[in-house]
Structure 1
Amino acid sequence: MGKFVTLGEIMLRLSPIGYERFVQANKFNVFFAGGEANVAASLANYGLDSHYVTKLPAHEIGQAAINEMRRFGIKTDYIVRGGDRIGVYFCEKGASQRPSKVIYDRANSAIAEAKREDFDWKKVFEGAEWFHFTGITPALSDNCVEITLDALKAAKEAGATISVDLNYRKKLWSTEKAGKVMAELVKHCDVVIANEEDAEKVFGIKAGKTDVTEGKLCDEGYKAVAKELYDRFGLKYVAITLRESYSASDNGWSGMLYDGKNYYKSKKYDVHIVDRVGGGDSFCGGLIYGLSSGMDNQSALEFAAAASCLKHTIEGDFNMMSVDEVMNLMKGDASGRVQR
């Protein structure tokens, strides 16, 4: 198999210990994380040739981020060094009826201020099989819009399959700008992945009979969303993650896939959450693995849903599950019994 390439911003994540609130914490757990880096970690865990592209400062914190990615098998050959800072985000884990909270400190990060000439995309995509990005990266700056578009054109020229997770972030840009920019970028994509809100926030495509704040989702409504995305952009696949939020601690989790002819729905998992951040990214990684490894559409979707279910049980943003562990859950072993 060829190279699997992702582009994005890896950040320093600081989280209070356990379920402490920001205002009571006097120490923090440290992780490195970011949407596309999370996907790269999943792909590396599954044994794929996973490459991550970004720009990081040349100081020790930038090096620590690179070391963390290398630790999990992600290749960092195409990371550019420079700029003054790495983005930071603070994550307070919710519990029961108290929601999780994220505070960003990412302005003027190295990747946000990167220039188009920093990256040799022809070299990056030589022998590439797949390219993945999210809507977070072009939201960082106008420069990042141009960088992402350059990467897309090079990936297409190299013959790579291209996937995007819409991943709308209201703290980064408006729905109007997101819709305009993403419409241009998605034209180059083969696979679009969204959650229960992204299609509405980015493209104004709303699922009927659905209220995410009440945890009410309607399969028929999301079938219509998938079809409209598919038809509008001439895609090969549309995938939608479906989260039923009973509380911050307990969610229902499943996924849907549409290939232009058939709709596929995964098994639903009732998950007691350890850490939900990165859940959608782990779904993306699982779907990319399933589709690229020759699984049929239903199996690829089931692998993605099972992988993401397991991620919700892991501290930090990276999904540290092997193919065998995901396959065991996918095949029905959900007992959680001790393995000896």
Structure 2
Amino acid sequence: MAKVITMGEIMLRLSTPDFEKFIQADEFDINYGGGEANVAVSLANYGHDAEFVTAVPNNEIGECAVAALRKYNVGTKHIAKCGERLGIYFLESGSSMRPSKVVYDRAHSSISTATAADFDFDAIFEGADWFHFTGITPAVSDAAAVLTEEALKAAKKHGVKVSVDLNFRKKLWSSEKAQKVMKNLMQYVDVCIGNEEDAELVLGYKPGKTDVTSGDLELAGYKSIFEQMVADYNFEYCVSSLRVSHSASDNGWSACIYSRDTKEFYHSKEYSIHPIVDRVGGGDSFAGGVICGMLDGKDFKAALEFGVAASALKHTIPGDFNLVSRKEVETLAGGDASGRVQR
């Protein structure tokens, strides 16, 4: 199996139970997660050698975050113990027409103040096959943006393939700042993943007349921006998830991909996800599935189908991590969505 490195922030997630609003909650459910950590768990779960790189405080809460990763066979030997605190996010899970809400409490977290001196990137990327990061990490702080580029330089030095999930977070930075930072980082990227909002706000591309709330997906618009992105940054593949939000509990879910070498555009099958148990981490499970498919040697269409099926299943699981097996994903991707009891 392949060796994959992901780097980012792992956070303590405090979520209201039973779809309660914040004002109702007398207690919170505890989970750990974060964009790149979620991808690492997916890949480790599928049998790949996944290592997560981050910084956590040298205290019991930092140890709990590391233990959450070890539980699912993610490598943690390159996690630095430094900084003041672990970032926290509060989640109020929406239902029906009421959207989910996220409140961040992550200022001065360990990863936001970490520097390249806290990591041995040559050792980290020795023998690695793939490096994955997201647009969340450079958004956390200017120091984290510098750290991300240092990691990317080391990855390319070691001949490692690089993927990014653009993942725009308006509560962390503006579109103007995102474009200034992320456009520079695209020179290191081989596989670019993101939805229609990410493409516009992070890189400045808008996919035609797509309206995800009405379900009107103009696929020709995606093909057009993928062609532009490949022309501008020479990506090997451009990938986008396609979420149609009928409500917080009912989504249509599919994806599309464009190949630089074959100039083919492909749209996956679409899944109707209803009711949604937990959509947080859905995009990360998609990225992890696509990366797994490519590392397995699947053609890009099959890799996309694997990613879409993996993510559809993630929406049925509480918490950030996607804990389905490779067999479960392949069963769904093969057409069995019956949900029958397995005896």
Q: TM-score scaled by structure 1?
A: 0.99
> For the Cα contact (< 8 Å) 1:2–1:127, is it kept in 2?
no
Cα offset, 1:85, TM superposition: 0.5
> For the Cα contact (< 8 Å) 2:213–2:244, is it kept in 1?
no
Partner SS state of residue 187, structure 1 = helix
1:280 aligns with 2:283: yes
> For the Cα contact (< 8 Å) 2:11–2:32, is it kept in 1?
yes
> For the Cα contact (< 8 Å) 2:271–2:312, is it kept in 1?
yes
> For the Cα contact (< 8 Å) 1:237–1:257, is it kept in 2?
yes
Tell me, in whole angstroms, the C-alpha distance in 1 between the residues paired with 2:248 and 2:216.
Answer: 15
Partner SS state of residue 245, structure 1 = strand
Q: Which moved more, 1:264-273 or 1:205-214?
A: 205-214
| Residue of 270, 273, 294 corresponding to 2:272 | 270
Which residue in 2 is equivalent to 1:8? 8
1:332 aligns with 2:335: yes
Q: Report the aligned-residue RMSD.
A: 0.8
Which residue in 2 is equivalent to 1:220? 220
Partner SS state of residue 114, structure 2 = coil
Tell me, in whole angstroms, the C-alpha distance in 2 between the residues paired with 1:154 and 1:253.
Answer: 35
> For the Cα contact (< 8 Å) 1:226–1:240, is it kept in 2?
no
> Per-residue displacement from partner, 1:96-124 (whole Å, max 9, x unpaired)?
10000000000000000112211110000
1:100 aligns with 2:100: yes
1:84 aligns with 2:87: no
> Where do 1:1-340 residues align within 5 Å?
1-260=1-260, 261-272=263-274, 273-340=276-343
Partner SS state of residue 228, structure 1 = helix
> Per-residue displacement from partner, 1:251-276 (whole Å, max 9, x unpaired)?
00001010121011111000011000
What amino acid sits opposite 2:313 in the alignment?
Answer: L
What amino acid sits opposite 1:6 in the alignment?
Answer: T
Tell me, in whole angstroms, the C-alpha distance in 2 between the residues paired with 1:176 and 1:213.
Answer: 25
Tell me, in whole angstroms, the C-alpha distance in 2 between the residues paired with 1:30 and 1:333.
Answer: 32
Extract unaligned runs of 5+ from structure 1: none
Tell me, in whole angstroms, the C-alpha distance in 2 between the residues paired with 1:184 and 1:151.
Answer: 14
Cα offset, 1:196, TM superposition: 2.0
> For the Cα contact (< 8 Å) 1:116–1:143, is it kept in 2?
no
Q: How many residues align?
A: 340
Tell me, in whole angstroms, the C-alpha distance in 2 between the residues paired with 1:317 and 1:20.
Answer: 18
> For the Cα contact (< 8 Å) 1:88–1:104, is it kept in 2?
yes
Cα offset, 1:204, TM superposition: 1.6
Partner SS state of residue 252, structure 1 = strand
Tell me, in whole angstroms, the C-alpha distance in 1 between the residues paired with 2:127 and 2:43.
Answer: 16
Tell me, in whole angstroms, the C-alpha distance in 1 between the residues paired with 2:177 and 2:141.
Answer: 11
Cα offset, 1:36, TM superposition: 0.2
Tell me, in whole angstroms, the C-alpha distance in 1 between the residues paired with 2:16 and 2:284.
Answer: 22
> For the Cα contact (< 8 Å) 2:268–2:305, is it kept in 1?
yes
Cα offset, 1:213, TM superposition: 4.0
Tell me, in whole angstroms, the C-alpha distance in 2 between the residues paired with 1:90 and 1:239.
Answer: 29
